[in-house]
Structure 1
Amino acid sequence: MLRIGFALLGLLVSSLCFATQSASMSLLDNRFRVDPSIEQITFVIYRAENSVPVVLVRPDGRKYYSHRHPDNVRWYQESAMDIISIEKPMPGPWQAVGKVTPKNKIKLISHLKLSSDVLPERLFQDEQIKFTARLTSDDKPLLLRDFLDRVKLKVTFTKFVENEESLIKEARPVPIEIGEFADDGIDLDEKAGDGVFTVKLPITPAPGKYRVRITSGNGVFLRAQEQEVLVYPNPITLTFIQSRQEQQSHQVIFTGEQGMIEPGSLAAHIEHTDAQGVTIAVEGAAASAESMNVELAIPYSGVIGEYSWQGEAYATELGSGRELMFPLSEHTYSVVKDIDLAETRRLQEQEREKQAKLLAEKRIAEAREAQRKKSMLIIAIGNVVVVILGLVIWFVMRKLKAKRAAIPEMQLEMPKK
C-alpha cells in the first residue's frame, strides 16, 4: 500500500490555518505578511524577462537568495519567474526585492494533497498500465496552471533491499525511472490542467520485488510516495512461424500461462507492414472459453524485402480479474529468393576444393620454407666450424713458431790442439 504521509508540494502553499479556503493576495510594494499559524508558504513572483531572481528579505532583515538559502527554503526559477516555498516561515512582514512585474501575487492553498492509484501488488514484466495521480486542495482539484505546468512527477522502481536506509549510499540499489506524469491532455491524460496527472507506465524491470516511488524530478515534492510490488515474468509467450509457400500464411501464436491467465480471455491485435510500406491490421481472440491460445494469420507475399509487425496482446489475470495489456515491440522478417539446392551444393563443393587447394599450397610453401631455413642453418654452422678450425690452426702454428724461436742455436766447440 502507498504510504501517503506527505502530499506537501515544495513549490506550492500549504497552510494549516486555512482549513476550508484558498486565498490570493497581490503584493503591495512587493511586501507581504506571514501569519504566525502558517506552517508552510509558497508564492510565485513574476519579474521582468531575463532579470535576475529576486532577493527575499525576512522580517528580521536576513536575506535569502536563489543560490544561497537555508534547507527549509526551496527555490524554483525561470527567466521571468520565481516560485519559492518556505517551511516554518518567520511570522511578520516579508519583502521581495527585484524587477517585479504587476502580475506578482501570492496564493495560499489549504489542505494540499497528492493522491495516486494503488498499484497491484502483482505486476507482470512487459505489461503497460494507466497510472494516475491527483493534486487537490480541500479535496477539490487544484487548477493553478502556473504550478501544474511546472510539476514534474516521475515513477521509479528500486530493487527491494531490507533496511535500505542503513546502507551506505554506494551500496544502495539504483532507482530505475520508468515513467513521468503529465497533465497535458496528451496520450492517456484525459484533460489538460485539471490537476490529474496520467502516465503510461511500462513495467520494464526484471522479475523481482521492488519499492515503487512517486518523486519530483525538480524538487517540488518534499517527500515521496512509496509502495512495494512484485514483478512476475510475462505470462504470455509469443511464437512467429514464417511461411515459405505462397498458399500458406505466416502465423503469430499467443499462448497464456496456465494459472496466471484466465482461460478464454486472450486477445491480440497486430499491424503488419509489407515490403512496399502497406500496413494492414490483423486481430483475433481466443476461440473458446477454455482456450489459452490465439492464432493470427498474416497473408503471405512473395515480394522480396523486409517486413515488420507490432501490436498489443490483451488478457485477464486469473484470480484478481485484472485486465492486462502487453505492447508488442516491433518484429521484423525478410523474404528472399528461393534457394537452388543443386547450385548451392555445386558452389559449396567448388569452394571446398578451392580451400583444399589453398591449404595444400600453403603446406608445400611451409615445407619449402622449413627446408630453406634448415639448409641456411647448416651452411651457417659449417662456416662457423671452418672459421673456428682456421683460428685453432693459426693459433697452434703461431705457438710452434714462437717455441722454435726461443731455443738458442747450439755452438759446436772444436778441441784445441
Structure 2
Amino acid sequence: MRRLALLSTLIPALLGAQSASAASWLDNRFRVDPTIKQVAFVVERETKNQNVVLVRPDGVKYYPWRHPDNVAWHEEAGMDIITIENPMPGPWQAVGKVSTKNQVKVLSNLKLDVATLPERFYQTETYKFTARLTQDDQLLTDRDFLDRVKMSVYFYEYVDDPEALAEDALPTPLKLGEFSDDGLELDEAPGDGVFTVALPIEIQPGRYRVKMTSGNGIFLRTYEQEVMVYPPPLLPSFIQARNTEENHTLVVTSDEGMIQPGSLSVHLDQEAPDGSVTVSQEQAAPDATRLEASVPNLLNPGSYAWSGWLYATDTYQQRALVFPMQKSHFAITSVLHLDKNLAEYRAQQEEKARLEEEKRRLEAQLAARSQTWNMILGGNAVIVLLAAVWVFLRRRRHRSAASEQDEPRLEIPPDMKV
C-alpha cells in the first residue's frame, strides 16, 4: 500500500518535460546514487503490448507481475512507470524494446491532503469532498498526471475487528463517488490539483468506515475514517392543484431540532410537456423550520416533471446541507374541466352512497316485512291448530252424548200382584 501511494506521487513529475533532476537513459541504463531514497523510472516501449524487464545492479530481475514490496509498477499502453523506495545503488537496466524517450527523475516532498469528513451524514444528502495533491507544499498542476488519477470513495458497514474476519465475511464495499479534476459538476476548475467528488449518501442509516482508493491502482487506501449516517431530516411533498385558480404547492417539513430555524430554502424546476422549464424558489421565514413553495400551474394538458434541491443548516455541526430532489412526474389530462371533473366525481360518489343507503333501507324493510309475515303465518297456524282441537273436542263430546241416547234403558217393572 505504501509503494502504491509512492507511485501516485511520483508519476506527475515523470510525465512532464525534462529538468535538472531528470536524466535520459544511456543504452537503457541509469545509475542510482547511494543518496537517493526514492526513484521513479518512466519507460516508453516501442511495442505497446510487450512489457520491459527491470534489472537490478546485482542482476535480480523485476517484472510487472513479480517484484518486491518496495516496488510499484504501473502499466499503460506503450508505457511502464516504475517507482522504487530505497533502491539499490548502482547501474539499473531496462531490457526490452525500449523507446529513446525514457527518463528518470528523483522526487520528494509530495503529499496528498484529504479534507476531513464530517462525523455525521444524512441519508440522501450530497456532500462535496476534496483532496489536494501538492509538491513542496504547492498544488501539482501537471495535466498529464491529473488526467490519469481516478480516486473513488467507498463506504463499508462498520465492524469492530475487520482484520479478524475471513475475506468472504467482510462487509461489501459501497462505491458512492469518484474524484475528478475536470472542472465538471462540483469540481471548481480543471487541472488545478484539487480533486473533487460529489458524494451521494444513498445508503441506509448506520455506522460506516470510509476508504478512498484508486480504481487504476495508483492510490490504495490513502484515507480512512469512521462516520455515522442518520435518516434525512427533511421531507418534501408535492401537492398538485385541484382547479385552474390554484397553484401547485411543495411542502417541506423537518424533524424537530435537526434544522436551524430560517435556514431552509428550496429550488424547484418544473418541466412542461414541451420541454420548457419553470424555476420556483422559496426561503423559509427566519424562525421557521417548515416551508411552503408555490409552483405555477401551467394549465396545459400533458405530462409534467419536477425536481430540484433543498438547502438547510443542521443544528449539530452547523454544517450546510444539500439534498437533491429526484425527478417526479404528474399529469394534467383536462385542464379546462378540472372543476367539472371534480364535481362529477363527487356527484358520482354521492349517488353511489345514496344508492347503497337505499339498498340498505330496502333490505331492512324486506327483512322487517318477512319477519311480520312469519309472525302472522305463525299466529294463524296456532289459531287453526286451536280451532281444529276445539272442533275435535266438540265432535267428541257430541258423539258421547249421542251414544248415551241410543243405549236401551232398563226399567224396573211394577210390583206384580200374586
TM-score above 0.5, yes or no: yes
Deviations 1:232-272 (A, max 9, x none): 11111111111121101111111222211000110000110
The amino acid that maps onto 2:179 is: F
The RMSD of aligned alpha carbons is: 2.8
User: Larger % of helix: which?
Assistant: 2
1:292 and 2:289 aligned: yes
Residues 276, 294 of structure 1: alpha-carbon distance in 2 compared, 3 angstrom cutoff? same
| Aligned counterparts of 1:344 and 1:184: Cα–Cα separation in 2 | 60
The answer on whether the counterparts of 2:9 and 2:111 sit within 8 Å (CA) in structure 1 is: no
The CA deviation at 1:151 is 1.9
Match of 2:170 in 1: 172
Residue 222 of structure 1: CA displacement?
4.6
1:134 aligns with 2:132: yes
Following superposition, the deviation at residue 319 of structure 1 comes to: 4.0
Tell me what 2:88 maps to: 90
Residues 33-42 or 248-257, more deviating: 33-42
Verify the 8 A CA contact 2:3 2:72 in the aligned structure 1. no
Identity %: 48
Query: Relative to 1, partners in 2 of residues 1:280 and 1:62: Cα closer, same or farther, differing over 3 Å?
Result: same
TM-score (norm: length of structure 2): 0.74
User: Where in structure 2 are there 5+ consecutive unaligned residues?
Assistant: 12-18, 353-418
Give the corresponding residue for 1:201: 199
- The equivalent residue for 1:13 is 10
Q: Give the drift of 1:8.
A: 3.3
Partners of 1:342 and 1:179 in 2: how far apart?
50
2:232 pairs with 1:234: yes
Matches within 5 A, 1:294-373: 294-337=291-334, 339=341, 340-341=344-345
In 2: Cα distance, 1:249 partner to 1:49 partner? 67
Q: Is the 8 A contact 2:38 2:107 kept in 1?
A: no
- Tell me, what secondary structure is at the counterpart of 2:286? coil
Give, in angstroms, the shift of residue 295 of structure 1: 1.4
Taking the aligned partners of 1:88 and 1:122, their CA distance within structure 2 comes to: 41
Give the residue type in structure 2 aligned to 1:89: P
Aligned to 2:114: 116
Offset, 1:46? 2.2
Give the superposition deviation at 1:75. 1.9
- Secondary structure, aligned partner of 1:170: helix
* 2:143 equivalent in structure 1: 145
Task: Give the distance between the partners of 2:224 and 2:20, measured in 1 at CA.
Answer: 28
| Cα 1:11/1:41, change in 2 over 3 Å | farther
Question: What's the CA shift for 1:111?
Answer: 2.0
Question: What is the CA-CA distance between 1:9 and the residue it aligns to?
Answer: 3.0
**Cα offset, 1:29, TM superposition:** 2.2
- The letter for the 2-side match of 1:276 is D
Identify the range of structure 1 (137-146 vs 248-257) with the bigger mean alpha-carbon deviation: 137-146
Provide the C-alpha distance between the structure 2 equivalents of 1:50 and 1:309, rounded to a whole number of angstroms.
Answer: 50
User: How has the CA–CA distance of structure 1 residues 302 and 149 changed in structure 2, closer, same or farther, with 3 Å as cutoff?
Assistant: closer
Separation (CA, whole Å) in 1 of partners of 2:4 and 2:245: 62
Which residue among 251, 256, 259 is the counterpart of 1:258?
256
Between the aligned partners of 1:25 and 1:182, the Cα distance in structure 2 is 31
Q: Could you tell me which amino acid in structure 1 is paired with residue 43 of structure 2? A: I
Q: Which amino acid is 1:95 matched to? A: Q
Structure-2 separation of matches of 1:80 and 1:239:
55
How many residue pairs were aligned? Answer: 338
CA displacement at 1:223 relative to structure 2? 3.7
- Post-superposition offset of 1:144: 3.2
Letter in 2 for 1:324: L
> In 1, distance between residues paired with 2:105 and 2:28?
14
Q: Which residue of 1 aligns with 2:280?
A: 282
Q: How big is the shift at 1:205?
A: 1.7
CA contact (8 A) 2:57 2:89 kept: yes
Distance in 2 (CA, whole Å) between partners of 1:11 and 1:214 is: 13
What is the Cα deviation at residue 93 of structure 1? 1.0
Structure 1: state its 5+ residue gaps: 15-20, 349-417
